[in-house]
């Protein structure tokens, strides 16, 4: 039987690691959000500063289905993910897109 060694860390060290991990996740989210805003601006005529997390692709940003699917292809290349067409129909907002991309990267 293989033995697994446990690291002896203090509660404080554990909390510091958790905090660093959370900060990294937030930074990654912000970076991805900014990258996604740049991609969006290549497909529709909107100013980057007007794009918010709750901006809806069709209703607020003016995407049509062709532009949206074209953008999905670019997202796949940029973030090195493979988007499932049946799942991408649930992506309505920019936040939905970032969350979905992050979930694909975590797999």
| pLDDT tens, the chain, 107 aa long | 445 445 667 878 777 777 776 777 777 889 999 999 999 999 999 999 999 999 999 999 999 999 999 999 999 999 999 999 899 999 999 999 999 999 998 87
In this structure, the chain runs to a length of: 107
**CA–CA gap between residue 50 and residue 95 (Å, rounded):** 14
**Helix (H) and strand (E) counts for the chain?**
4, 0
């Amino acid at each position: 039987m293989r033995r697994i060694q446990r690291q002896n860390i203090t509660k404080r060290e554990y909390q510091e690691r958790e905090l660093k991990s959370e900060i990294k996740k937030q930074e990654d989210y912000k970076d991805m959000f900014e990258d996604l805003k740049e991609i969006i601006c290549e497909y529709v005529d909107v100013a980057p500063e007007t794009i918010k997390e709750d901006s809806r692709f069709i209703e607020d940003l003016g995407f049509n289905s062709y532009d949206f699917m074209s953008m999905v292809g670019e997202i796949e290349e940029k973030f090195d993910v493979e988007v499932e067409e049946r799942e991408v129909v649930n992506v309505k907002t920019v936040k939905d897109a970032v969350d979905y991309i992050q979930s694909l990267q975590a797999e």
